[in-house]
Chains A and B, each alone.
Chain A
Amino acid sequence: DVKVTQSSRYLVKRTGEKVFLECVQDMDHENMFWYRQDPGLGLRLIYFSYDVKMKEKGDIPEGYSVSREKKERFSLILESASTNQTSMYLCASSQIYWDRTNQPQHFGDGTRLSIL
Chain B
Amino acid sequence: AQKITQTQPGMFVQEKEAVTLDCTYDTSDQSYGLFWYKQPSSGEMIFLIYQGSYDEQNATEGRYSLNFQKARKSANLVISASQLGDSAMYFCAIRSPDGNEKLTFGTGTRLTIIP
Q: Say which size band chain B's interface belongs to.
A: 20 to 34
Inter-subunit contact B33/A100 (CB<8 Å): yes
Q: Which of B13-21, B74-82, B104-112 lies at the interface?
A: B104-112
A96 in complex: contacting residue of B4, B37, B99, B106, CB < 8 Å:
B99
Check B101 against A31 for contact (C-beta < 8 Å): yes
Chain A interface category by residue count: 20 to 34
Q: Find chain B residues with CB under 8 A from A108 CB.
A: 44
Chain B 1-44, CB within 8 Å of chain A: the 1/0 string?
Answer: 00010100100000000000000000000010101010000111
Contacting residues, chain A, for B47 (C-beta < 8 A): 104-106
Chain B contacts to A: CB under 8 angstroms? 4, 6, 9, 31, 33, 35, 37, 42-45, 47, 50, 52, 91, 93, 97, 99-108
In the A-B complex, list the 7 residue pairs whose CB atoms are closest, starting with the nearest. Answer: A107-B45, A102-B50, A104-B47, A43-B105, A110-B43, A42-B107, A42-B105
